[in-house]
Structure formats: C-alpha cells, structure tokens
Structure 1
C-alpha cells in the first residue's frame, strides 16, 4: 500500500472515531454517568492515540511532498492534540459542551480538508 492510500485510510479511520466520540459524548451527557476509566476511557483513548500518532507522521510527510495551499503541518499537530483530548473528555458528563463541539468541529474540518486534498492530488 502506498503512503497516500495509507494516509487516506488513517484519515477515514479518524473520521469514524470522531463519530464514535460524538456518540459517546451525547450518551454520557444524557445519562450523566462517566465512563469507567480502566475498562472504557483508557483503552479507547489509547486506540485513538495509536492511529493519531501514525496519521500525524503520514500527514506531515504528505504535506511536505505535496504542499497544498490550504493545509499546514501545524493544523495536523493541533487536530491530533484535540482528537486525543476529546477521545478522553467524551466520557465525562462535566465536559463543556461548547468546548467539546468546537474541538470536534475543528478536527473534522482538518480531516475533511486533508481528504479533499488527497483526492485532488491522487495520481
């Protein structure tokens, strides 16, 4: 598998994680019950982090090679940090809804822009 298709696959996996994170957040907000740290929060956050770490490397390298006008490595770094944060915060009902939604939308924006650029630069 070439780097571009690997990046595309990682990007899509992260987008799926944002859906799961959003669903978890809504469910936790409604129930008011926090997720169990060792059986739910940590395993999920670790799983997301593993994909994020790989994605960050691939995305940065892809950006250096292709130099898209509307996407920079700093946005990748920021999205990676935010994704790691919300993958944990989603399990806690006291998480600020506004901040959570802002982070989620920011991450999705970067993932969408990267997806569009990957499709545009496909050879």
Structure 2
C-alpha cells in the first residue's frame, strides 16, 4: 500500500501535468502547429500514463479504505482516463477547445478534491 504522502506527491504531479497539458494546448492553438510526436507527444503521454496508473490504483485503494465525502472510485477512473487523453490531445490544435477545457477543469477539480481529502485524513 502506498503511503499518504506518496499519494499526495503523485496527485500534485498530476495537477502539474494537467496544467502543462493546458499550456501546450494553448501554444498549439496559437501557432496552429502540431507537437512533434517523438519529441513532445509520446514522452509526455508516456509520463502521464505511468503516473496515472500509479495514482489510480493508490487513489482507489485510499478512497475505498477512507470513504471521503464527495469522492468516488468512478471519478478517479474517469480522471485517470481524461488525464491520459489530454496528454495526447494537448498537442493537436484542431482539438475542440470547449471539450478540452472541460476535461482540464474536471481533472483539476478532482485532483484538488483528492488533495483536500488527503489533507483531512
């Protein structure tokens, strides 16, 4: 079982990656250029996937054991999937702005709620 501090650190990293994805997306929208697949897209998506896999299993276990108010396993699963999706879509300027921003905001909300719940435990 992962320690609470490790889960907190992973959650903070995912929050930063979510922000990084948002910045990359805004840059691609401004320039109209896609990110380089091997130099930008794949390394970022791989890093996000690895962190999401660790986070999702640890967060699920923590939520099942601690039953925090307003935080449920399905939200964690969806957030992990959305994080991985935005890590790729961030580098494509033709991605829907509204949908992308919705995923970014949703990820941010759940990750911050997770940090709040961890702080209260």
TM-score > 0.5 by shorter chain: yes
Q: Deviations over 1:70-117 (max 9, x none)?
A: 100100000000000000000000000000000000101100110000
SS where residue 87 of structure 1 aligns?
helix
How large is the Cα RMSD of the aligned pairs? 0.8
Count of aligned pairs: 120
Distance 1:26 1:73 in 2: 30
CA offset at residue 64 of structure 1? 1.0
Structure 1 equivalent of residue 12 of structure 2? 12
Partner residue in 2 for 1:64: 64
Segments of 5+ residues of structure 2 without an aligned counterpart are: none
Structure 1 residue ranges, 4+ long, deviating more than 4 angstroms after superposition: none
Cα deviation, residue 31, structure 1:
0.2
Structure 1 alignment gaps of length 5 or more: none
Q: Report the TM-score when normalising by structure 1.
A: 0.95
- Counterparts of 1:33-112 in structure 2, within 5 Å, are 33-112=33-112
